């Protein structure tokens, strides 16, 4: 692994792209200080250039050097949750250029905990810009194999790190304004953040054009998918005259060929979610039906991703 990590750091220094595991999903990394490298990253991602990208660091001190004003609450959250699946949006310092922030006055900072990500960041020494390692708008990768399927030869190296532990993208908290705003729910919940901050964290309406995770249809399989309440699943299967694949808590229905049964615990569900959507997406069905999770705070992050995977109802 050491030789592999050294090679990865060299590729980054030369302006190349390295996909690497994080505890949330796999990232597609480029030198965050190099305009050319980041331009290639956007091209491979097929991502519009006004969408900002998260910048990754090995330590909170390094991360905060990219912020202009680092409020005490940011340090408090970093102490508690970094390294880990939390991204903080701060006003940017001069280190964060327009080409990583999409021209905004803020920057997204993250210190991942995955040991391979940490080793890569330390070996490289600088900041790594990394969106999820999939094409724009599609389901994020949670294994190295997913990355290879999605990006093939467009990525110079894929570091292996096993299946991602969390399975969905980091929680994003915007600390650049007067009050903290949750931009993307994740494994670290709104309630977890409020407990540490001692104040209310509001949520931003989902369809903000400024961050791509906020688009209405995102993290989406190619097969049209629909979220249905548990009580409506049987009826939906009966009514659909198409060949369907189902993601559900309940036991398989014999009329359905591709039925994936999901755990009733939100973290276990999140861990398996993207691999499950990929599997159903390639099952050769015309429709995917997803049984909606319970309407409670611990399911917020999973429900958010499912809503985006299914698009506007």
Binding site for ligand TXA (CB under 6 A): 22, 24-25, 27, 51-54, 87, 89, 101, 104, 106-108, 110, 112, 130-132, 169-170, 172, 183, 210-213
What region does 111 belong to: left with phi over 0, alpha with psi -120 to 50, or beta? beta
- Nearest residue (CB) to Mg ion, 60 versus 131: 131
Q: Output the smallest distance, CB 164 to ligand TXA, in A.
A: 9
DSSP, residue by residue, 172-231: EEE-SSSS-EEEE--SS-HHHHHHHHSS--EE--TT-TTSGGGSSS-SB-SS-EEEE-GG
Q: Which residues, 140 to 169, sit near Mg ion by CB under 5 A?
A: none
Tell me the CA distances in angstroms from 37 to 116, 134, 183, 217, 239, one per residue in order: 21, 17, 27, 28, 49
Q: Output the smallest distance, CB 140 to Mg ion, in A.
A: 5
Q: Output the smallest distance, CB 135 to Mg ion, in A.
A: 10
Q: Output the smallest distance, CB 270 to ligand TXA, in A.
A: 12
DSSP SS3 for 86: strand
Q: How far apart are CA 145 and CA 121, in angstroms?
A: 22
Q: Output the smallest distance, CB 133 to Mg ion, in A.
A: 9
Binding mask 124-143 for Mg ion (x = CB under 5 A): --------x-----------
Identify the DSSP state of 84. S
108 binds, among Mg ion, ligand TXA, none (CB under 5 to 8 A by kind): ligand TXA
52 binds, among ligand TXA, Mg ion, none (CB under 5 to 8 A by kind): ligand TXA
Question: Quick one: tokens of 54?
Answer: 């998260």
190 binds, among ligand TXA, Mg ion, none (CB under 5 to 8 A by kind): none
Q: Output the smallest distance, CB 10 to ligand TXA, in A.
A: 21
Q: How far apart are CA 245 and CA 58, in angstroms?
A: 41
Site membership for Mg ion, residue 22 (CB under 5 A): no
54 binds, among Mg ion, ligand TXA, none (CB under 5 to 8 A by kind): ligand TXA
- Nearest residue (CB) to ligand TXA, 130 versus 248: 130
Contacts of 130 (CB under 8 A, 6+ apart): 20, 22, 27, 28, 29, 30, 53, 54, 55, 56
- Nearest residue (CB) to ligand TXA, 47 versus 287: 47
- Nearest residue (CB) to Mg ion, 168 versus 262: 168
Residue of 108, 294, 84 whose CA lies nearest to 183: 108
- Nearest residue (CB) to ligand TXA, 45 versus 287: 45
Contacts 24+ apart (CB under 8 A), 60-63: 60/111, 62/127, 63/88, 63/109, 63/110, 63/111
| Matching residue, tokens 């995977």 | 309
Q: How far apart are CA 220 and CA 240, in angstroms?
A: 20
130 binds, among ligand TXA, Mg ion, none (CB under 5 to 8 A by kind): ligand TXA
Q: Output the smallest distance, CB 202 to Mg ion, in A.
A: 23
* Interface contacts to Mg ion, rule CB under 5 A: 132
């Amino acid at each position: 692994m050491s030789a592999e990590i050294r090679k990865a750091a060299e590729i980054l220094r030369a302006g190349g792209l390295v996909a690497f595991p994080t505890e949330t999903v796999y990232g597609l990394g480029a030198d965050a200080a190099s305009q050319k490298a980041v331009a290639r990253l956007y091209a491979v991602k097929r991502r519009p250039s006004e969408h900002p990208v998260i910048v990754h660091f090995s330590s909170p001190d390094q991360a905060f050097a990219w912020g202009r004003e680092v409020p005490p609450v940011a340090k408090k959250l970093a102490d508690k949750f970094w390294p880990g699946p939390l991204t903080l949006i701060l006003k940017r310092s001069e280190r964060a250029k327009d080409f990583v922030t999409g021209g905004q006055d803020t920057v997204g900072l993250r210190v991942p905990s995955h040991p391979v990500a940490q080793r890569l960041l330390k070996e490289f020494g600088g900041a790594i810009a990394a969106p999820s390692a999939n094409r724009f708008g599609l389901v994020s990768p949670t294994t190295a194999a997913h990355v290879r399927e999605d990006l093939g030869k467009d990525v110079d190296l894929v570091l292996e790190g096993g299946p991602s532990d969390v399975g969905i993208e980091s929680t994003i908290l915007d600390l650049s304004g007067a009050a903290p705003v949750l931009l993307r729910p994740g494994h670290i919940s709104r309630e977890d953040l409020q407990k540490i901050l001692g104040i209310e964290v509001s949520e931003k309406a989902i369809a903000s054009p400024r961050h791509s995770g906020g688009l209405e249809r995102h993290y989406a399989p190619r097969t049209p998918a629909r979220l249905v309440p548990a009580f409506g699943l049987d009826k939906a299967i009966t009514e659909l005259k198409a060949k369907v694949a189902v993601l559900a808590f309940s036991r398989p229905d014999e009329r359905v060929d591709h039925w994936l049964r999901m755990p009733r615990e939100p973290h276990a569900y999140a861990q398996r979610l993207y691999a499950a959507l990929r599997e159903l997406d390639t099952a050769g069905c015309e429709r995917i039906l997803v049984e909606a999770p319970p309407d409670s705070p611990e399911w917020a992050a999973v429900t958010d991703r499912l809503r985006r995977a299914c698009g506007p109802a």
